[in-house]
């Protein structure tokens, strides 16, 4: 899985929406608040990025909350167990996979 870093600021409202989106898609991320983290701020300035949210996904930067771009860059998708609706992380481009739900042990196959 790729490392995801989110550059954020406490007062930024689209950051909140973006965080929700990351949680819903089970994307684990590290948060860097540019108002308190001078290093993070410099890191963005060095790349001529001056807005939050900005995401670093693997080696790629995404500026602004762009769900399509984010999903394109992360290497998993979330599928729901048909029995108990638990959300399960599934890798992409691995063909047909057999998945076992961690909650109800229901087994099913998914195309990835």
Binding site for Zn ion (CB under 5 A): 81, 83-84, 86, 101, 103-104, 106
- Minimal distance in Å, beta carbon 55 to Zn ion? 30
Phi-psi region at 21: left, alpha or beta (left = phi > 0; alpha = psi -120 to 50) = alpha
Q: Which is nearer to Zn ion, 69 or 77 (CB)?
A: 77
Q: How far is the CB of 112 from Zn ion (least distance, A)?
A: 18
- Please, what is the minimum distance in Å from the beta carbon of residue 71 to Zn ion? 23
Give which of 24, 3, 19 is closest to 52, Cα–Cα.
19
């Amino acid at each position: 899985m790729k490392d995801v870093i989110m550059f954020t600021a406490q007062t930024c409202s689209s950051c909140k929406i973006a965080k929700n989106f990351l949680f819903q898609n089970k994307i684990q991320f590290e948060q860097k608040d540019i108002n308190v983290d001078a290093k993070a701020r410099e890191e963005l300035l060095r790349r001529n990025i001056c807005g939050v949210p900005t995401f670093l996904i693997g080696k790629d930067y995404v500026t602004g909350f762009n769900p399509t771009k984010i999903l394109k860059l992360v290497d998993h998708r979330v599928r729901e167990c048909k029995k108990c609706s638990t959300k399960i992380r599934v890798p992409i481009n691995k063909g047909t996979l057999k998945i076992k739900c961690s909650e109800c042990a229901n087994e099913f196959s998914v195309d990835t």
